[in-house]
Chain A
Amino acid sequence: MHIVIIGNGISGTTAARWSRKLSDHKITIISSESKHFYSRTALMYIYMGHMRYEDTKPYEDWFWKKNRIDLIHDHVDSIDFDKQNLKLSHNGSLHYDKLVLALGSKSNLFGWPGQDLDGVGGLYHLQDLEYMESYSTGLKRAVIVGGGLIGIEMAEMFHSRSIPVTMLVREDSYWSNVLPQEESAMINDHINKHHIDLRLGVNLEEIVGDSSGKAKSVIVKETGEEIACGFVGLTAGVSPNVRWLKNTELEIGRGIKVNNHLESNIPNVYAVGDCAELTHPRPGRRGVEAIWYTGRMMGETAAYNICGKPVSYNPGLWFNSAKFFDIEYQVYGEVPTNMPEYMSTLFWKHADNEKSIRINYHTETKAVLGFNLLGVRYRHEVCEKWILDKVHIETVLQHLGLANFDPEFYKEYETELITLYNSQTGSNLTLNTKRGLSKVLAFLSK
């Protein structure tokens, strides 16, 4: 049996690795972006000079041959689903028995005037990075349109080379469609602290080009202001890279529609990662979740299904992480932007305005529901266990040290959190368990 995987990002690569672990089938990965798998999340670090491209490859180049995973560095022009054949740009055609589509995303463009000018680009592919690089020498200012994770990454990238940055954010506060108000405000302050010109509640009217077709400025819709710049970063989110398959028999909504076994409507064709859209996502989850971790879990799940061990896709409890300049962010479980009726929250913020801990819990049952952390590290497994076991908020607080994952000698804030809770509720809790791995091991094995 020949398993062919289109796309060598985290989803496709994980599917290939697990297919190899579970079977002896022939496995081929095709990608036109790069010959080898590299970590997309590390693109910014190449630009910033923290790493070289080679350092972003999670496996050495000989790994693929050793694991008998064939790599084809080529572009798939079209897919013949009836004959189970792929047509490649340079390497003729390729037959598959099982096909995994791990096509990733494309940067969103909203038809802005001037979006096709030179010096306008997103940040998703290795080629985008090269494009940014080619405009960076002597760059006087970059304007970034979009206030999400990629936008702030791009701001940090230019900032690392002392290139002034203006960020146009549609919302009234940074990433406020995901972060609760308080956290979002902290990030606004942090962005400003790095001297990024952050413009909130504004939209892009148009990108103005010069006579040679190169972007020279942007015009802000609300104020009409023209901001001169040599590069425009369009980072208003991503969407599944499926347009080229729209006129095939493959069922496509926002992404490629898949069931819980990650099978598409066509036999032997699977879709994983950013490009897949679950027809029946689990309660509280979205159909398309373009994040690293779900891509990895989907790759693993698809491999099981392909290799004759049917298993349903179960991403488990929601978790995610990011970093906004110098502030790390972790989230476990339910952390909505607007508190629903049933939810209470305990929010603590450090005086330096760069650390915060939020614990959400059920108002009635007092069961913990979610953790949202800025500048503080919490232990994934402990938070997950508390949430899945519906542990009482007061029990959690008394043993909060179990969750602490900050490096040794870091100041511990558990008691401050408990004091805050006591003052809000009139309770009289104390910290019973401080941090330490031995206690965690005992707790997790219970």
Chain B
Amino acid sequence: MKLFQQFGLLLFCIALLIFTAMLGIGTVELTESNISVEDSYHQSEILKIAAQEGLLNSPKSGIAFITQYNRVISKASDALAEKAKTGLPDGVQIWDYTIADWRAKNYVATAVTQGSSGPVKENPLLFLFLTFGLAIIGGLLFILPKFNEAEGIKNNGIYQDSLTRGMGLSMRYIYLLGTIIAVIVYGFFKLQDFFWPLVTVILGLVISYFVFFRQHSKDNNPQRSASPVHTGWLGVIAGTYMLGFYILLYWAPAYINNWITMVNPVSEMLSGNPASQWFLYGLMYTCIVIVMGVRMLTKYQHNTYQKVRTASVMFFQTAFAFLIPEILVRLNKPWYDFKNFWPLDYDFFYKYNIDELTSSGSLGLFMLIWGIIAIIIGIPLMTYFMGKRWYCSWVCGCGGLAETLGDPWRQLSDKSMRAWKYERFIIHGVLAFAIVMTLMVLYYYFTGNSSILGLNIEGVKSWYGFFIGAGFSGVVGTGFYPLMGNRMWCRFGCPLAAYLGLIQKFKSRFRITTNGGQCISCGNCSTYCEMGIDVRSYAQKGQDIVRSSCVGCGVCSAVCPRGVLRLENASGDIAERTDFLRTIHITEDEIKILS
């Protein structure tokens, strides 16, 4: 059995190696026939400069090509700007005549897609097998034998393993701050916008001021925050790899053209369209949720709640997030994920989306109404009955990845009071940002004014998409799994989780009950809470747990060695869910009688 597993691990490593090496495979060539740009004056200028620079008809590796082609386009744009001084063609504006950044990006992307050649392009299915195929087979070979192990809690050695141990505190500060600063600085250059990055930095400082000084957290060093003395370097490497993957996926997809090419046949089969980076991501995401979902099933063979819940996230990811949208596209309907709701789905109210839905017949209209009804009625009602868990740990795609791929790192969430303070400011801040941004977008939709109170609505949208949509939920949200736990995004950033959380906190039948005085304060519950809730602090008081962040994954209840915690719903006592303390066994009445 051991041999099987080692072989599986080997296959997985080979797959990962090939996957990574693919970034450097093959060549890209720019020719007169494959250059595909929108305007003839762009085309002639680019071709001229490309010929001068020796890029034309000269195959190059992907990375070299992209670098050089970017330079060519930039020079072409400068040359066009120079020409413009002597007069523009009829009816052409200067901003169309030169080559704007977003156009340059499209040009590069198209050139890479059209001009690439090499083994991947010739044999996409072979490479799909060597990466996805081997990784899945290897993963399953590693995981399936675990069905033979004795049932029970399987957390042995987690804090002795370099992959799952987490980072030392100072290392963590460096990594976290470094990533945030890098993302903001990159955003400044990428969006050529100084205002929103600056606002973000100021808000970050204001929040820190509140947490550290107004809420007296300065001296409360977070010793209990899941940081070991010795950093687990395998985890850091894994995290860095994932960070890198997300950066390429979101911000430099031209470099991962080979990966996209490889999944082309699958995309053609499903939707009839060539793959985009988002199809690649969706396919990968689904495969990972399924394979790591099987792992979760082996780990919790004894726990029906975990099994049903894991099956649920596997199903919703495969059917709702992946297959149904692709099939919709095949049927010439809008790509739509029926379980992804605003404000997590932040562009739901964008003009292009509303226009697309309203122009797609009755199904499109149904999609629009479904999304709106869910926000106003569906979500509050479901959350009233069973807490936010119905969504966050049963249905949601982000939650699905966190509960499957992220499970080995759930113990790394920060349990300190300070982290909780940050959490409340940041997640509700993101919710407010999402609401304000959406109101502005709707204002634009109904009035057609592109600015409000001097703020450019496009600028707000861009910054939200960049900083929250890509930076927070993707790069940090998933890239930080092996570094700071699997629910960074869900806990600190997700505006939908914030909304669900407010309902759970104030008007829900859900709570985690504690079983009388049976708690021994061991701390397994707190350690394995992915949301960083200090479950033990409630359990040892015998107090029911009602926290807006709780996603109801049920792992605290599973790992409790004394049978203390149970996820429950009841309507009778919603206002007093947490009043009763079960471990206090002396009442004031008793004292009067005795003294």
Contacts and interface: CB of A to CB of B under 8 A. Distances in A.
A199 B590 CA distance: 49
A54 interface: yes
A303 to B, nearest CB: 9
Interface in A221-256: none
Contact of B524 (A42, A194, A328, A379): A42
Contact of A328 (B151, B219, B526, B561): B561
Contact of B540 (A48, A58, A301, A314): A58
Nearest to A383: B516
A172 interface: no
Interface stretch (A120-128, A275-283, A435-443): A435-443
Contacts of A311: 586, 590-591, 594-595
B282 interface: no
B212 to A, nearest CB: 13
Contacts of B562: 321-323, 328, 330
A384 B516 contact: yes
Contacts of B157: 48-49, 160-161
Contacts of A42: 520-524
Interface of B: 150-153, 155-161, 219-224, 226, 228, 302-305, 307-308, 416-417, 513, 515-518, 520-524, 526-527, 536-537, 540, 554, 557-558, 561-563, 566-573, 582-586, 590-591, 594-595
A50 B567 contact: no
B520 A409 contact: no
A436 B224 CA distance: 35
Q: Can you list the 3 inter-chain pairs with the closest CB atoms, starting with the nearest?
A: A380-B516, A326-B152, A377-B563
Contact of A45 (B417, B524, B537, B570): B524
A441 B219 CA distance: 41
A164 to B, nearest CB: 16
Nearest to A42: B522
A249 B588 CA distance: 34
Contacts of A131: none
Nearest to B159: A49
Contacts, number: 177
A160 B156 contact: yes
B226 A55 contact: yes
Contact of B156 (A49, A293, A381, A438): A49
Contact of B513 (A60, A296, A300, A437): A437
Contact of B521 (A41, A54, A379): A41
A437 B526 CA distance: 23
A325 interface: yes
23 contacts: A41-B522, A42-B521, A42-B524, A49-B159, A56-B523, A57-B523, A58-B523, A60-B220, A60-B224, A160-B157, A194-B150, A297-B585, A304-B586, A312-B594, A323-B561, A379-B516, A380-B517, A381-B516, A381-B582, A407-B567, A437-B570, A438-B571, A438-B572
Contacts of A406: 566
Interface of A: 10, 39, 41-42, 45, 48-52, 54-62, 65, 160-161, 193-194, 292-293, 296-297, 300-301, 304, 309-312, 314, 316, 319, 321-323, 325-326, 328, 330, 377-381, 384, 405-411, 436-438, 440-442
A58 B521 contact: yes
B387 to A, nearest CB: 12
Contact of A326 (B151, B160, B161): B151
Residue among B221, B522, B595 with the highest chain A CB neighbour number at 10 A? B522
Contacts of A10: 521
Given A55-B226, A309-B595, A328 B302 contact: no
Given A316-B585, A405-B566, A407-B567, A52 B159 contact: yes
A304 B228 CA distance: 39
Given A45-B524, A56-B522, A321-B563, A310 B595 contact: yes
A55 to B, nearest CB: 5
Nearest to A56: B523
Nearest to A65: B219
B523 A405 contact: no
B156 A54 contact: no
B295 to A, nearest CB: 18
A260 B228 CA distance: 44
A409 B304 contact: yes
A301 B522 contact: no
A52 B572 contact: no
A438 B567 CA distance: 13
Q: Which of A55, A381, A406, A438 has the most CB of B within 10 A?
A: A55
Contact of A304 (B151, B307, B516, B591): B591
B223 A60 contact: yes
A407 B582 contact: no
A321 B526 CA distance: 19
